[in-house]
Amino acid sequence: MATVANDTAVADMRRLGNAEPLEPYPGGARRPWKCRCLNEGCDKIIYPNRNNVMSGQGACKYCAPNAPVDPEAAVAAMRGHGFDTLVPFPGTGKPWLSKCTTAGHLVAPRYDNTTGRGGRCRFCARRGPGDPQQAVTDMKAAGFTPLEPYRNVSTPWTSLCNGCGTIVSPNLNNVRTRGQCCPHCAKYGLDPAAPAFLYVMAHVVFGAVKIGITGRHTREDRITRLQGSGWAVVRTWLFDTGAAAYRIEQTVLKQLRTQGHGPYLTAERMPAGGWTETFDAAAVTATALCRRVTHALTTLLV
């Protein structure tokens, strides 16, 4: 094989790779060659080989279509599209739990969809950014009288339940998706004064675990419904009141969130709800989750 002259190799690297060699051609088409990328906005030190450049593969791995994404740059890019990310960067094609900066919607967009297609919050696109007058109208239609000014869809909104006269704090997003969601009036949800189960479940296919609560005598058997979707019961605890079960559940969730464990599944994977209480079974095992519940019981309800 003929030896390629240094001047020829340098010219080819500049012309075909848009890279500036920083050392003489090392010889050998597959040897790494220290260069600087000349693509606009890059300027990184790279080590391409002549064989790849001559075959049209390009010189800079950072400028390639499948280039690795810097997590800090990814966070900044998502913020530029209107999202405050809530958990570490999961990768370009995975749902990324975030909060819409316009109206406070809790969403899970994918990085590649957001940056590649100019994605924005799907709730804002469908309902608008959160018009205060429309928000009040929607609350009243669901049976609530707001007692304070509207802030955003995800913030608890102190209101009077017109059905039972109780002061409650639903957020607008739940009201719009669930309708009448007063915990004291709910026919299908949790009655804070009635017996309730706290449960831990696991899904082998999804590689996920979940914590949740359900009323003992509610018309909707949430545990059975989850079992129909492939979830298996690991353990349950019976409480005298739904309020006590809720307190333990929220304590465990707060601990996990503080330690950086965000929701593992998405609303698309769990259309019936409950995805925000799911965790990666590889990071939070079912045994560890049960242990947290037991510890919360001994420290809070003793």
Cα–Cα distance measured from residue 263 to residue 266, given in angstroms and rounded to the nearest whole number: 7
**3-state secondary structure (DSSP) of residue 99:** strand
Q: So what's the pLDDT on residue 188?
A: 46
Model confidence, pTM: 0.43
Average pLDDT, the chain: 83
Provide, rounded to the nearest whole percent, the portion of the chain with pLDDT above 90: 30
The pair phi, psi for residue 198, each rounded to 5°, is -105, 135
- Give the pLDDT confidence of 154-183 residue by residue, as tens digits: 678 889 888 767 788 888 877 776 665 676
Does residue 239 contact residue 198 with C-beta atoms inside 8 Å? yes
Which is nearest to 84 in space by CA: 98, 67, 102? 98
Residue tagged 């049209």 (tokens): 56
Does residue 36 contact residue 23 with C-beta atoms inside 8 Å? no
Q: So what's the pLDDT on residue 117?
A: 73
Q: 250: how many CB neighbours lie within 10 A of its CB?
A: 13
19, two tokens: 């890279």
When pLDDT is cut at 50, 70 and 90, the band that residue 293 belongs to is very high
Residues 6+ apart with CB under 8 A from 207: 264, 280, 281, 282
Each domain of the chain, given as residue ranges in start order, spans 6-54, 71-126, 134-171, 196-300
Does residue 208 contact residue 279 with C-beta atoms inside 8 Å? yes
144-146 β-sheet, strand order? 144-146, 159-161, 167-168
- Give the pLDDT confidence of 185-239 residue by residue, as tens digits: 654 456 777 899 999 999 998 999 999 998 887 666 788 888 888 899 999 999 9
- Give the pLDDT confidence of 110-158 residue by residue, as tens digits: 888 888 777 777 777 665 556 788 888 888 888 899 999 888 776 788 8
Which is nearest to 58 in space by CA: 2, 92, 12, 23? 12
When pLDDT is cut at 50, 70 and 90, the band that residue 1 belongs to is very low
